[in-house]
Structure 1
């Protein structure tokens, strides 16, 4: 069983958009897992086999307990009954309290957009007894969204990842077929993720999110339901910046 399940469209999605938070959750003693809807086989660089090896290394860096690959077609993730049943099965197998996926907002990549839609439906559908997957029904407590690299709205909350910034970067660097080392790209690239600009925007995203809560680095999230707060001080105290 897991406390947290993060669901992305491609290997490296979770590392890029919430790798720091997953590392922080693990440090807090939570059991974490990742589900990739595709193998990333349609990407310009690297093969599915190469990305599988890179994924294994990144998973180890983030100390993730379980990782699932649903093998949906990369570049053509669609909200079909078959896709929903696969996601429902993972949710029922792992029974997470919290499910993270792409935010309910316009996305640059259609696979990201559709992944968020599928997962939100499945968080609800997984609790219906008459959907038979061979496992008992289970409904997570909440679905939480993360934006792509450039958030378009104010987040509901930010996870302080200052202590885990290097862990996040190392997990992303594990995908050597997809990214180049910071500052080493000469501009001759077909994909944004292999450009120096990618690293600049990644850091700017984390700095901006962190600044909102007084941290050096943060990751922004959107909750599909209101947050319940029992300790009113802790969420609002800005630790690093006054």
Structure 2
């Protein structure tokens, strides 16, 4: 996948291709339109998914990346349903941060019904911390991430920050539809099986984004959490 960019404004991590699109596809599209260089790093190829296969998922991710206007997308090829807090795994994620030197990093929220999303959240937090340590992997240049935000995938908690994505929501829809193997309903004649995400899942994502936007009179919004205070100059 594309990865020729030297530096990024924003780097989004997901356990699987489609995680970032579900949680913050509108925010990615909005910032890409504004001229920001944005990349996604998927930790796995989602090879344990009930539908589709690795090669098809690669094509779907590439199509979604094009729709969202990504500057880079990489995949670490770590084992799906096998993400562990091991030194070698954290090192690979740290190297990805040092390679792209993003100002902002996004990761899944640390509570979710899918264990891989939870694991991804914790691994990225470990890697962000290690990335700034000059004596950690000293043959690569240390990098300090300015801000780390967390996005929601399956389970939604109280958002401390929301982004109005009304104007680019169609891009999010199309990016998610690119993952046909995941979200198209099982039907007679195809080789799909019924799963929680091909039974009206995209409609529920859209409903979630509508409800969140309603809190601030926006048609659609995506929510985020930060562990650090959000800095402002004046109100």
Question: When the two structures are superposed, what TM-score results if normalisation uses the length of structure 2?
Answer: 0.92
Q: Which of 174, 177, 183 is the equivalent residue of 2:178?
A: 174
Matches for 1:64-79 after TM superposition, within 5 Å: 64-79=70-85
1:129 aligned residue:
134
Q: Report if aligned partners of 1:98, 1:143 keep a CA contact under 8 Å in 2.
A: yes
Greater mean deviation of Cα atoms: 184-193 or 47-56: 184-193
Q: What residue ranges of structure 2 are gaps of 5+ in the alignment? A: 1-6
Q: Indicate which of 40, 45, 55 corresponds to 1:49.
A: 55
- 5+ residue gaps, structure 1, are 233-242
> Considering only aligned residues, what root-mean-square deviation do their CA atoms show, in Å?
1.6
Identify the match of residue 219 of structure 1 among 215, 219, 222: 222
- 8 Å CA contact 2:11, 2:41 repeated in 1: yes
Choose the corresponding residue for 1:10, options 12, 16, 20.
16
**By how many angstroms is 1:7 displaced?**
0.1
Change (3 A) 1:177 1:133: farther
Q: Aligned partners of 1:231 and 1:201: how far apart in 2?
A: 37
Aligned to 1:159: 163
What secondary structure is seen at the aligned counterpart in 1 of 2:180?
Answer: coil
Residue from 137, 140, 143 that aligns with 1:138: 143
From 208, 211, 229, the counterpart of 1:208? 211
Give CA-to-partner distance per residue, 1:47-69, whole Å, 9 cap, x none: 10110111111110010001110
Q: Provide TM-score, normalisation by structure 1.
A: 0.89
Give CA deviations for 1:188-212 in whole Å, capped at 9, x if unaligned: 942111112x123111110111112
Question: For residues 53 and 181 of structure 2, what CA distance do their matches in structure 1 show?
Answer: 8
SS in 1 for 2:105: strand
**Contact 1:8-1:14 within 8 A present in 2 as well:** yes
1:191 — aligned with what? 195
Aligned residues: 226
Q: 1:100 aligns with which of 101, 106, 110?
A: 106
Rounded Cα–Cα distance in structure 2 between residues aligned with 1:27 and 1:231? 26
